Amino acid sequence: MQAFEPYTALNTHVRKPVIHISLNPSPKDILSEEQLTALTGEFMEKFGYGNQPYIVWLHEDIDRKHLHIVSVRINEKGIKIDHNKEAIRAQEICREMEVRHGLHPTLSEKGEKELLHLQKVDYPKGEVKEQVKHTARTLLECYNVHSLSEYNTLLNLYNVTAYEVRGNVNGKEYHGIMYGALNDKGEQVGTPFKSSKFGKPFSYEALQNNFTRSTERVKKNGLADRTRQEITKAMQGIGTKEDFAARLKKADIEVVYRINTEGRLYGITFIDHTNRTVFNGSRLGKGFSANVFNELFNNPEADRERLIPPLQPIAETPREQPVETHAENEQQQEGQQTNDRPPEPFEKWDEYSALGAVDILSDLLEDDHTREYIDPAFRFGRKKKKKRRRPRL
């Protein structure tokens, strides 16, 4: 408290000058205090608190080591450190550090457990808002989706829908995201919820940023290659829609058809549960578009030799060299010759160590399917203040 007082005294207008952060490594980690200290220092530097006083506690009161960090939001000039999208930035920093040091993301550990127990939203069960929020968050964390359309297709499997709303009030355009529950027939039930009721990570802007990051991950890791290969295999000797879906199911890929009243296939989406990625058919290439499959399914005279792409071997992507394990370091210390360059703090970590997800414990998280929607608050505008009547003389 004494270390913080010179900072807080410079700006008494900040309502919450103290920030509390929790770093949670994976239970698989075997990390020394030196390594945890280096981890904390790197995170705080990237987070914008490298020059701030902060205190770190190491706790082992649960089944995993975790760190509590307390710092002050006011710098030495009395200026409040920017807290805009603080929770999102913290998560992104963790993801970057995981990639840089070859660590396993603990978000996936958490997501795997939640995804395993994830069930369809049951409207009659009640607590619909919590059911919808939990489902939307879990799927967004666990799957790569490139667009709202792909995200919505994924949500529909769990009786949830998400769509964009747009309107125009006094010449000013606005748009947002609405979330709702579906029944088993795919019909919307109950009252939809604004994204603001769930928090900023569910907003229109946050979703767009998430779609961009997903697109970059898919491209960087070549996740579409495996999906194309499995779809191409299933297309060889293709028969009915049901037969094609059954073939893909064996490869852990789910196919969703969109068919109009005339029986024409106008949309197709592939959900690769192995790569945890959703692809609209056209995103994989012209050979996987709805038009191609409409021909294959509905036209007996279709030129299958031209329409069905040939099988292509998947090019192996070079893997990064794993970081050295503790055992390898011990062998080097016992007599083997090592490089003269001193190792960086993270080079001696276990290959399967992980940087935990960040949980910001302050009030940080609160603060195409498009529909025309005008909220009553926008439709009627703000209420005019009643004029006070002057007393009669």
pLDDT digits (tens, 9 = 90+) for 107-122: 555 555 556 667 898 8
Residue type, 214: S
Beta-ladder partners of 174: 167
Across 286-300, 358-372, 373-387, the highest mean pLDDT is recorded for 286-300
CA distances from 207 to 92, 115, 243 (A): 14, 20, 34
CA distances from 382 to 166, 385, 386 (A): 19, 9, 12
State the average pLDDT over residues 164-188: 84
Q: What is the pLDDT of residues 207-246, one digit of tens each?
A: 999 999 999 989 988 889 989 999 998 888 888 889 999 9
Neighbours of 172 (CB within 10 A): 8
Q: Which of 283, 304, 280 is nearest to 292 (CA)?
A: 304
Tell the burial category of 173 from Cβ atoms under 10 Å away from its Cβ (0-12, 13-18, 19+): exposed
- Neighbouring C-alpha atoms within 13 Å toward the C-beta of 385: 3
- For the chain, the 3-state helix, strand and coil shares in percent, each to the nearest 5, are 40, 20, 40
C-alpha dihedral (110, 158, 267, 213), degrees to nearest 10: -20
Q: Is the pTM above the cut of 0.95?
A: no
Note whether 156 and 183 are within 8 A (CB). Answer: no
Q: Is the dihedral of CA 287, 288, 293, 294 positive or negative?
A: negative
Q: What is the pLDDT of residues 9-68, one digit of tens each?
A: 999 999 889 999 888 776 666 778 888 899 899 999 999 999 999 999 998 765 567 889
User: What's CA 12's distance to the chain center, in Å?
Assistant: 36
As given in the structure block, the two tokens for residue 11 are 């700006």
For position 115, what pLDDT does the model report? Answer: 63
Q: What is the pLDDT of residues 331-346, one digit of tens each?
A: 444 444 444 444 344 4
